[in-house]
Structure 1
Amino acid sequence: MAAADPYVVAKASLRDNVKTLIAVFGGIAGVLLAGAPFSGYGSLELFSPRWIVASLALLVSLLLLGWSVRRLLFVLTPDLAYTNLLIDTTQDAEILAVQAEFARRKDELLPKRNPNDPNSPRIDSVSRLIEEKRLAWEHYQADTTKVDRKEEYDRLADALAAVNHWSAFTRLHVRVSRGTDTVFWAGLAAIISIAVFAVASNAPKKETASAPTVYVVLPSSPSPVAAADPLPVLPPVLFATGKAELSRQAVADIDKARDHLRAHPDVGILIVAHTDTVGGDALNDALAMRRARSVAELLREQGGIGAARIFVAPLAKKDLPALTAQDTENPANRTVQMILIPLPPQRPR
């Protein structure tokens, strides 16, 4: 009966440690890559120095990570030719390390030729142990009635199994020790590469102007006909942040404009809609248009003012009543300015 492997628990523990290392290593790599600024990398100019450095760093880190995981998986690769490696003549570093360890401990591992004689010399090599085991089996087969021949064969078979188990464990130990050492340095290099990628892809933002471009819209010069009758200045229509709905006060202010337009058919109105500088251009352009339409529709549909007398100018984040920097809230800029303008006289038909 073959002897049980005394290193089963130790080998399982080594493999469990490697599996844990794979899980921890993969988790750290995943967190680092997930936190890397890929959006910044996508905004880099193609083939610029920063793009080249970031691309090389990312490629190196991914190669190192892949190689490290492959190396750790190799550590767990089973190899059943355990005893043969002790008499292997190749120059594989792993096998040579096991052979050197066996040479130091072979007096403990190899059995005596006669276990009943304390002065009996030990078998000097694994090759000799295999040969004597074969001879013991042939002697037993020649005369199966002699129990001592069977006992001698079983003793040598158990001794060879013990050497087999030892060499298997020692090889795994050497593989794990060397594999985890190289993976550690490869993992450290991968982390440094990811850090280089993060720095290179996080390009400095371009300087933006502290204040938006201002476009000034002035009311047209009054015509000679209206020179003696200056047009009144109407109050601005105020809106809540991000909204285009009219409040009660806004409706009252628009009614003042409506009353003047009804009383003066030669006057039109310019509706200039603004937003503050918070948010993107597309969002604010749409918001300014909705605010201008809210005022224009109330004048046209409920006030009865003709569409030909209403002019709309949505100027989101431009020509602001209160000059402010980018990303700055200001209630004075969430307005629609209502500017009365004289209309040119109609030509006779």
Structure 2
Amino acid sequence: MKLDELDTPAALVDVTRMNRNIARMQSRMNALGVRFRPHVKTTKCLEVVRAQLAAGADGITVSTLKEAEAFFAAGVTDILYAVSIVRSKLPRAMALRQQGCDLKLVVDNALAAAEVAKFCAAQRETFEVWIEVDTDGHRSGISPEQDGLLEVGRILHEGGIKLGGVMTHAGSSYDLHTPDALSALAERERSGCVRAAQRLRDAGLPCDAVSIGSTPTALAAGKLDGVSEVRAGVYVFFDLVMHNIGICSTDDIALSVLATVIGHQPEKDWVILDAGWMAMSRDRGTSKQTRDFGYGLPCTLDGTPLSDWILSSANQEHGILSPVHGTRGKSLASRFPIGTKLRILPNHACATGAQFPEYHALSADGETTVWSRFHGW
């Protein structure tokens, strides 16, 4: 189907842009001499992951066991579940291991490590477990110099668990917007994770993998000495948050939401669309950045940004398009006639993609193909 034939709202993937983004990241990782393990939570889509693997990716990262199950069923075996494991999820994770999935788990505290060891002893089975390291204070993990790092390592190793490595995520990179700041954080991420690995090795504990990653730091890193692999996810689509950080242009953003003009409010300079927050998501990630795009940046059907307009507000099924500067008044109806279709670039590709059960993959010839994606945990 052509774009003007699709029902709206619809999630569109510009395949040409997506493939260009994949090639850019993979080429950079190859040049830096590390393996690349993409985070598939962004897309949860088999067609996208196949394209990433075909380009040279080695294994995948997931954020839910449902992702692990779905991609393993599709033939992907090397999977890192990059969320600290809890006791209630261990039987489900073990089922994947017993089916032949090379599933790696993550812990960041002694209690979780002890629970894994206890479970494996009772099952007479084992897991490969990595320790999450906190290199920027953004989220979870153990700081490289904390005594808890060695404690967790010993609990796992002495409990018969394969201590596979360490991993970290520099999520605070989303708060930056200059090349120097991004480069500095990329080095902090690298050096901190390498330091954690060295402390484990110096204590006589195994630590083969050193895994780091966020899309901004992956693209900003100048060297990756001591790192074995990099993880990144949103690079495959990019979004307006990444644009504001400075690592992509609007022409790189591969995900958009197709919407239709359904009304006007001339006295308010509003154009009403059929894409509200149920389509765009509630994510307002650009609100704290140098440029606030509201709920999204509108583009014409061919992808040309309408930079003087933003999706300034959103109700559940109504989006409000308004001018950034000045007023349009009576020109609204002629500028955006009822029935006009627009493409809205999202703040956060992961959140917007999660609103839809499928993507409409847009090829260079203007045809679309349905790609399924999945929900849940």
Q: Considering the TM-score relative to the shorter chain, is it more than 0.5?
A: no
TM-score, scaled relative to structure 2? 0.18
Q: 1 or 2, which has the higher strand percentage? A: 2
TM-score, scaled relative to structure 1? 0.19
Q: 1 or 2, which has the higher helix percentage? A: 1
